[in-house]
Chains A and B, each alone.
Chain A
Amino acid sequence: MVPRVILGGGIVKGMIETARNFVGSYTDASRLTTVEYPEQRIPLHANARQFPFLVFDGTDPMAGLRCVACQICEKECPPQCIYIIKDSVKKPDYLGKMQMQPKVFDIDLSVCMSCQICVEVCPFDAIKMDTEFELSNDDRFAGLLVNKHQLAKPNSHFARIHPAEAAEVDGRLAAEKAKAEAKARADAEAKAKAAATSPPPAGNPSSSPPPKS
Chain B
Amino acid sequence: MPTDVILWILGGLILISAVMSLALRNLIHCALFLMVCFLGLAGLYLHLNAVFSGLVQALVYVGAVGIILIFAILLTEGGGTETGSHLGSQWRTGIGLAVLLAFALLGAVSNSPQTTQAARHTEEPTVREIGLKLMTDYLLPLQTIGLLLTAAAIGAVVLAMQEPKPRKDETP
Q: Do A and B interact directly, with beta carbons closer than 8 Å?
A: no
Q: Tell me the A residues contacting B by CB distance below 8 Å.
A: none
